[in-house]
C-alpha cells in the first residue's frame, strides 16, 4: 500500500481521551500518532497509551501502541500502520512528515489562550473548553456531562465544569498536589485503598487517599509536577469501579470525533460534486 493511500492523523495528548480517539481513528484506517504534552501529567494510565513512552506495551480495546522516536518512523508507518504510534515529538516536528489529514487537540488543558489549529492541516478538531470554529479550530466538541460529545460548528465550547460525580463522589475523590515537587509512588493502579492510605510522596511529604475505593489513576513515579494538579483518583464504586479500558466519556468523545470527520468529508464531497456539474 502506498503512503498516499493511508490517512494521517495527529492527536495532541496521550491521556485517556486522546487514546480513545486514537483507537477509533486507527480502526477507521488512519495512521495515528499521539504527541505527548506533559501538562497536565497523565493520571488514568491504564485507560491510556501514555506508558508506551516508557517502554510498556499498552493495549486498549485490542488495539496496541508503540513508541516512536523519529519522523522517519512515522513515514515508515504510513505504509501500513499496525499500531497507534506514541511519541515525544511535538506538532512542529510532525508537520514536515506529510500533510496531516486530521489534527485533534485532546489534551484537555485549562489554558488562558488556546492555540490556533486552523490552517495547519486539512481538518482540525478541538475537544473541550476554549475552542471555537470561528477562532482556533475547524470543529469543536463539547466535554461537559450535560452536552457530552455535541459537535460545535459555530460559537465557543462551554467553560470547564466542575468534575462530574463518580459513585456520588465529586472532586473529593481526587488527590491534588499541594505544591510543586517530584512525585514518587509505589502503589499500582487498581489497588484497593482506604481513607488516609498513603498513595505516594511529593518531595518526601506523604500524600493520602481522601476516601475509600479503588485507585483509578495515579501519576507515574518519578515525575516532576506543578502545584494544584491531580496526582491520583479514587473510584468509590466498589465492584463497579473501572480503571482499565475506555470508559463512557472516552467512547462518546471518540465517536463524536469520527462523526465530525465523516461530516466534513461528506460536505467536501458534495461541494466538489456541485462544482463539477
54-70 pLDDT, tens digit per residue, is: 999 999 999 999 999 99
Neighbours of 108 (CB within 10 A): 18
Tell whether the model's pLDDT for residue 3 goes beyond 90.
Answer: no
Q: Where in the chain is the domain with CATH 2.40.50.100?
A: 171-236
The DSSP output letter for 220 is: P
Q: What's residue 112's pLDDT?
A: 63
Considering the segment(s) 171-236 as one domain, its CATH architecture is Beta Barrel (2.40)
CATH fold of 3-160+249-275 reads: Rossmann fold (3.40.50)
* Mean pLDDT value across residues 148-167: 81
Q: What's residue 170's pLDDT?
A: 67
Q: Where in the chain is the domain with CATH 3.40.50?
A: 3-160+249-275
Least confident span in 9-23, 111-125, 249-263: 111-125
Q: What percent of the chain has a predicted confidence (pLDDT) above 70?
A: 91
Instruction: Kindly list the strands in the beta sheet with 205-208, ordered across the sheet, starting from the edge strand earlier in the chain.
Output: 205-208, 198-202, 181-184, 223-225
Tell whether the model's pLDDT for residue 46 goes beyond 60.
Answer: yes
Would you say 220 and 240 are in contact if contact means Cβ atoms under 8 Å apart? no
Alpha helix ranges (H) inside 124-185? none
Q: What's residue 1's pLDDT?
A: 37
pLDDT tens, 210-268? Answer: 999 999 999 999 999 999 999 999 999 988 999 999 999 999 999 999 999 998 888 77
Q: What's residue 274's pLDDT?
A: 66
* Mean pLDDT value across residues 76-90: 92
Least confident span in 42-51, 148-157, 214-223: 148-157
Q: What 3-state DSSP class applies to 245?
A: coil
Amino acid at each position: 500500500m502506498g503512503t498516499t493511500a493511508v490517512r494521517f492523523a495527529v492527536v495532541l495528548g496521550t491521556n485517556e481521551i486522546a487514546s480513545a480517539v486514537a483507537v477509533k481513528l486507527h480502526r477507521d484506517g488512519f495512521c495515528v500518532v499521539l504527541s505527548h504534552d506533559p501538562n497536565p501529567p497523565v493520571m488514568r494510565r491504564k485507560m491510556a497509551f501514555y506508558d508506551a513512552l516508557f517502554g510498556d506495551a499498552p493495549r486498549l480495546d485490542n488495539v496496541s501502541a508503540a513508541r516512536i522516536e523519529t519522523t522517519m518512523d512515522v513515514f515508515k508507518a504510513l505504509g501500513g500502520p499496525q499500531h497507534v504510534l506514541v511519541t515525544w515529538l511535538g506538532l512542529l516536528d510532525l508537520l514536515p512528515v506529510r500533510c496531516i489529514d486530521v489534527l485533534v487537540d485532546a489534551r484537555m488543558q485549562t489554558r488562558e489562550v488556546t492555540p490556533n489549529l486552523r490552517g495547519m492541516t486539512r481538518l482540525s478538531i478541538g475537544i473541550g473548553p476554549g475552542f471555537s470554529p470561528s477562532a482556533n479550530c475547524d470543529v469543536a466538541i463539547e466535554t461537559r456531562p450535560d452536552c457530552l460529545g455535541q459537535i460545535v460548528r459555530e460559537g465557543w465550547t462551554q467553560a470547564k465544569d466542575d468534575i462530574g460525580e463518580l459513585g456520588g463522589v465529586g472532586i473529593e475523590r481526587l488527590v491534588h498536589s499541594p505544591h510543586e515537587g517530584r512525585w514518587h509512588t509505589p502503589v499500582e493502579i487498581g489497588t484497593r485503598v482506604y481513607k488516609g492510605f498513603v498513595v505516594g510522596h511529593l518531595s518526601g511529604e506523604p500524600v493520602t487517599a481522601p476516601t475509600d475505593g479503588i485507585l483509578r489513576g495515579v501519576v507515574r513515579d518519578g515525575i516532576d509536577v506543578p502545584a494544584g494538579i491531580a496526582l491520583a483518583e479514587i473510584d468509590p464504586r466498589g465492584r463497579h469501579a473501572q480503571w482499565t479500558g475506555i470508559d463512557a466519556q472516552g467512547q462518546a468523545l471518540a465517536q463524536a470525533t469520527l462523526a465530525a470527520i465523516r461530516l466534513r468529508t461528506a460536505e467536501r464531497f458534495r461541494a466538489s460534486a456541485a462544482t463539477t456539474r
